[in-house]
């Protein structure tokens, strides 16, 4: 070999080696913390590397520091905990946006409302602050009669004197009931001649047919279509604020849990303009099936600029704290508007429910169904069985999700296992309404609400959620509620259903990814998966159980890019 060829050989070899080093170099390396990949309860590492928005590897600092290149950013976690980004099991992103114009009527510890006069005062301040004139709507959400000193719903008589000329609408904390004053009732056309709609109820003044102002379930539809919509000029700001809030909770994959046609169009426009920093999954409300399913404008199960339509949402019943969840056995306390044998409200008749379940399964789109009470779950399971028989379907690939699955029974857990159904539980209820459930339904039924331990024993994959804005979107509070199941009065609601912190984290990481059919790319920290991370002030797995809710989200990272940092 002559000298020229030898030099060319050396140069080409050096170039190849340099190219290999550059290929292996990471964009970012995080180290010196507790890195919990959610691949096993004992798996904890101290370094993770990222390139082009994906994970290169997870392991020890000694292994991963070899991936440091000239442009690698090395980030010292300083003992903090890094986990997969949190995956929202169920919430209402758009409702959270719209509630920016509503008065917040939450009670302590997340609000200040304690009685009906404090509600009226909050509404008055809102009217003054917004300089609302006569005839303009005053909108509010989050009141909870079980936490008011009067222990009842507000009614039109409580509101009329202060607001004779402004229509007032207040949404119950569950989102399934509401209160209107006389001006609002007149404006929307609800009077003593108005019949209760199918799946809904208009409460009356005792001894008469006059509406008292409280409306339930499907009766809300008489009102909501007439409420003022956000102005186009405000939507981008409202969206940005809501996305920032979700990111501050460690969320990298979010859900809008009942998306209407005009809201789908709004979210598609927002995503097309590149405003989404996180993944957002819309569940099409069942009222929109005919206009959305089969329309080539709307594609399911495919992200477009971080937004996708991921399923269809049905609703079978109401809320347990609102006493409209459909129960096999009656409520034990008085139910306003119901004289005897009060078991809640079925939103859809059985025949209609069966038809809708069959229609969704035939479309091949994933089904999400809201069912709180055990009788509502029974109704759904019968519709599920019939659809499987008629269409000769294998239930397990369907990954049907029963949202809330609140008041379960052991036999229902077994049927979920048999059919491969995913329960999306709501353990925040044990804190917010655990004491209420004991009063309304007895300690035995209350103890089996959101039965995570029974589900683990049955081999179920479950998720857990906040149902925001029904409860705050704090994911660490949700983990805390699953681990401790402590009520407002410091009672443990269903001690046998408590789980470990690791098991509670599975619900909002790997199980969340499974729910959305995305477990191949999300939910754990493994090579090749998306670099969706949340950095916490402390490791929830090793923290004292009662302190988990005090852990802070320090940073949220989507595909390798920071979308929230606490100190910024």
pLDDT bucket at 241, cuts 50 / 70 / 90: very high
In three state form, how does the secondary structure of 261-309 look?
Answer: HHHHHHHHHHHHCCCCCCEEEEEEEHHHHHHHCCCCCCCECCCECCEEE
pLDDT in the model for residue 8: 44
The arithmetic mean of pLDDT across residues 24-43, rounded, is 96
Angstrom distance (rounded) from CA 201 to CA 215? 6
Angstrom distance (rounded) from CA 315 to CA 81? 38
Out of 16-25, 238-247, 416-425, 482-491, least confident range: 16-25
CB atoms within 10 A of CB 112: 13
pLDDT in the model for residue 18: 43
Share of the chain above pLDDT 90, in %: 90
Out of 1-5, 393-397, 547-551, least confident range: 1-5
pLDDT bucket at 23, cuts 50 / 70 / 90: low
Asked whether the beta carbons of 401 and 410 are under 8 A apart, the reply is no
Out of 10-19, 152-161, 428-437, 462-471, least confident range: 10-19
To the nearest 10°, the Cα dihedral for 289, 290, 291, 295? Answer: 90
pLDDT digits (tens, 9 = 90+) for 177-201: 999 999 999 999 999 999 999 999 9
pLDDT in the model for residue 11: 44
pLDDT in the model for residue 498: 98
Predicted confidence (pLDDT) at residue 459 exceeds the cutoff of 50: yes
Predicted confidence (pLDDT) at residue 55 exceeds the cutoff of 70: yes
The arithmetic mean of pLDDT across residues 436-453, rounded, is 97
Identify the structural domains of the chain with CATH numbers, from first to last.
1-79+529-568 (2.30.40.10), 93-224 (3.10.310.70), 316-519 (3.20.20.140)
pLDDT in the model for residue 540: 98
The arithmetic mean of pLDDT across residues 387-414, rounded, is 94
pLDDT bucket at 339, cuts 50 / 70 / 90: confident
Q: Where are the alpha helices (DSSP H) in 25-147?
A: 61-64, 93-98, 116-130
The string of DSSP codes covering 499-563 is --HHHHHHHTTHHHHHHTT-TTTSSS--TTSB--EEEESS-TTTS-GGGGGGPPEEEEEETTEEE
Whole-structure pTM value: 0.93
Asked whether the beta carbons of 378 and 316 are under 8 A apart, the reply is no
Mean model confidence pLDDT for the chain? 94
Q: Regarding predicted confidence, which is higher, 160 or 23?
A: 160
The arithmetic mean of pLDDT across residues 27-55, rounded, is 97
pLDDT in the model for residue 15: 41
Predicted confidence (pLDDT) at residue 22 exceeds the cutoff of 50: no
Q: Regarding predicted confidence, which is higher, 3 or 294?
A: 294
pLDDT in the model for residue 568: 62
The SS3 assignment for 217 reads strand
The arithmetic mean of pLDDT across residues 109-137, rounded, is 95
The arithmetic mean of pLDDT across residues 456-480, rounded, is 97
Angstrom distance (rounded) from CA 238 to CA 102? 12
pLDDT in the model for residue 556: 98
pLDDT in the model for residue 14: 45
The arithmetic mean of pLDDT across residues 131-160, rounded, is 96
- The rounded Cα 17 to chain-centroid distance in angstroms is 49
Predicted confidence (pLDDT) at residue 496 exceeds the cutoff of 60: yes
Token output for 32 = 């010196």
Q: Cis bond leading into 224, ω under 30°?
A: no
Angstrom distance (rounded) from CA 73 to CA 69? 9
Angstrom distance (rounded) from CA 301 to CA 281? 9
pLDDT digits (tens, 9 = 90+) for 273-329: 999 999 999 999 999 999 999 999 999 999 999 999 999 999 999 999 999 999 999
pLDDT in the model for residue 256: 98
């Amino acid at each position: 070999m002559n000298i020229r060829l030898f030099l060319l050989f050396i140069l080409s070899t050096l170039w190849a080696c340099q190219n290999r080093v550059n290929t292996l170099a990471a964009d970012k390396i995080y180290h010196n913390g507790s890195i919990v990949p959610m691949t096993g309860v004992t798996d904890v590492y101290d370094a993770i590397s990222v390139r082009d928005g994906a994970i290169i590897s997870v392991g020890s600092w000694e292994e991963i520091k070899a991936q440091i290149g000239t442009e690698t950013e090395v980030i010292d976690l300083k003992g903090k905990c890094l986990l997969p980004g949190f995956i929202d099991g169920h919430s209402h992103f758009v409702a959270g946006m719209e509630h920016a114009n509503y008065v917040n009527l939450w009670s302590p510890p997340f609000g200040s409302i304690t009685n009906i006069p404090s509600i009226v005062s909050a509404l008055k301040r809102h009217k003054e602050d917004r300089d609302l004139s006569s005839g303009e709507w005053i909108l509010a959400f989050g009141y909870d009669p079980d936490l008011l000193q009067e222990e009842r719903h507000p009614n039109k008589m409580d509101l009329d004197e202060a607001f004779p000329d402004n229509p007032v609408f207040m949404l119950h904390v569950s989102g399934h009931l509401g209160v209107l004053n006389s001006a609002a009732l007149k404006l929307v056309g609800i009077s003593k001649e108005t019949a209760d709609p199918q799946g809904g109820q208009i409460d009356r003044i005792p001894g008469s047919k006059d509406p008292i102002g409280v409306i339930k379930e499907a009766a809300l539809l008489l009102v909501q279509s007439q409420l003022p919509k956000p102005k186009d000029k405000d939507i981008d700001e409202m969206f940005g604020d809501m996305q920032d809030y979700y990111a501050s909770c460690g969320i990298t994959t979010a859900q809008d849990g009942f998306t209407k046609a005009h809201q789908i169009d709004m979210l598609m426009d927002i995503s097309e303009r590149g405003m989404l920093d996180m993944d957002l999954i819309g569940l099409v409300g069942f009222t929109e099936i005919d206009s959305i399913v089969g329309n080539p404008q709307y594609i399911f199960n495919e992200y477009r600029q971080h937004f996708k339509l991921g399923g269809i949402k049905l609703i079978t019943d109401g809320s347990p704290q609102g006493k409209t969840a459909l129960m096999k056995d009656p409520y034990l306390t008085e139910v306003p508007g119901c004289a005897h044998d009060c078991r809640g409200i079925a939103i859809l008749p059985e025949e209609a429910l069966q038809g809708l379940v069959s229609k969704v399964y035939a479309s091949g789109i994933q089904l999400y169904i809201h069912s709180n009470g055990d009788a509502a779950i029974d109704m759904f399971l019968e519709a599920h069985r019939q659809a499987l028989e008629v269409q000769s379907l294998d239930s397990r690939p369907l990954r049907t999700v029963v949202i809330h699955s609140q008041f379960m029974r052991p036999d229902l857990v077994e049927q979920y296992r048999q059919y491969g159904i995913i329960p999306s539980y709501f353990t925040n209820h044990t804190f917010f309404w655990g004491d209420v459930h004991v009063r309304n339904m007895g300690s035995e039924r209350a103890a089996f609400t959101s039965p995570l331990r029974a589900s683990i024993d049955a081999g179920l994959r479950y998720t857990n959620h906040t149902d925001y804005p029904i409860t705050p979107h704090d994911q660490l509070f949700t983990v805390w509620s699953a681990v401790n199941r402590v009520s407002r009065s410091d009672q443990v609601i269903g001690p046998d259903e408590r789980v470990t912190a690791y098991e509670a984290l599975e619900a909002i990481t790997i199980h969340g990814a499974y729910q959305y059919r995305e477990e191949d790319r999300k939910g754990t920290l493994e090579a090749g998966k998306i670099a969706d991370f949340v950095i916490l002030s402390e490791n929830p797995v090793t923290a004292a159980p009662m302190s988990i809710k005090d852990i802070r989200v320090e940073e949220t990272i989507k595909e390798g890019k920071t979308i929230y940092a606490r100190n910024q």
